Copies of this chain bind each other. A is one copy, B any other.
């Protein structure tokens, strides 16, 4: 896009034929390509030549064509409350990788066992930007925001049951937090969290 941010093909709701066509057009134009929300079933239904050159990751449901960009400066920490947060966390990770940005994953440090988070807090503090991933009640967003001075992007996920099903509770916990200066993206939007992080790094990388 004209903003310099990566674009991606959002594959949910597209037929394999449509995705094959978009892929062919990218190949023809010599473009690299990031595909998101490409579940395993739809991936398996793509044409053989499409699948041949795709680097596919089932956990995040993403595929990359044309390799990742040259490494750019900037350290991102992706912190998750539990294992169920990994699909969205990995969507963010892969989007950053596609753009040449390295991210460290600090997984399964939810606040039900606070010491797990406290043990790794120094590591998290070294990042330029933190992406925090959580479902259920999202208490980790507030705890992190009280402990870390870098920008924190809350990435709420649709992991939960009863009142926390669907991710809205985690989203609102980030927005309504008593902790200072949290920002949030849409539920399960790992791609958007990565884009926001790139906007923040952009200035940093360029030395402003």
Please state if B149 and A4 are interface contacts (CB–CB under 8 Å). Answer: yes
Q: Which of A26-34, A47-55, A63-71, A137-145 contacts B (4 or more CB under 8 A)?
A: A137-145
Please state if A146 and B181 are interface contacts (CB–CB under 8 Å). Answer: no
Judge if A180 is at the interface, Cβ distance under 8 Å: yes
Q: Which of B12, B158, B179, B195 contacts A180 (CB 8 A)?
A: B195
State the Cβ distance, A151 to closest chain B Cβ, in Å. Answer: 4
Q: Which chain B residue lies CB-closest to A153?
A: B183
Please state if B146 and A114 are interface contacts (CB–CB under 8 Å). Answer: yes
Judge if A79 is at the interface, Cβ distance under 8 Å: no
Judge if A111 is at the interface, Cβ distance under 8 Å: yes
> Which of chain B's residues have a CB closer than 8 A to the CB of A184?
175, 183-185
Please state if B162 and A186 are interface contacts (CB–CB under 8 Å). Answer: yes
Please state if B162 and A111 are interface contacts (CB–CB under 8 Å). Answer: no
> Which of chain B's residues have a CB closer than 8 A to the CB of A185?
175, 182-184
Q: Tell me the complex Cα distance, A146–B1, Å.
A: 8
12 additional A-B pairs beyond A1-B180, A138-B139, A139-B139, beta carbons within 8 Å, are A2-B113, A111-B179, A112-B145, A112-B179, A113-B146, A139-B142, A139-B177, A149-B202, A150-B203, A151-B196, A182-B192, A183-B196
Q: Tell me the complex Cα distance, A205–B136, Å.
A: 31
Please state if A163 and B181 are interface contacts (CB–CB under 8 Å). Answer: no
> Which of chain B's residues have a CB closer than 8 A to the CB of A200?
151, 200, 203
* CB pairs A–B below 8 angstroms (30 shown): A1-B113, A2-B113, A5-B149, A112-B142, A112-B178, A113-B146, A136-B178, A137-B141, A137-B173, A137-B178, A139-B141, A139-B173, A139-B177, A143-B143, A151-B196, A151-B203, A153-B183, A161-B187, A161-B189, A162-B171, A162-B176, A162-B187, A163-B171, A163-B187, A164-B175, A169-B169, A175-B185, A181-B198, A183-B183, A200-B200
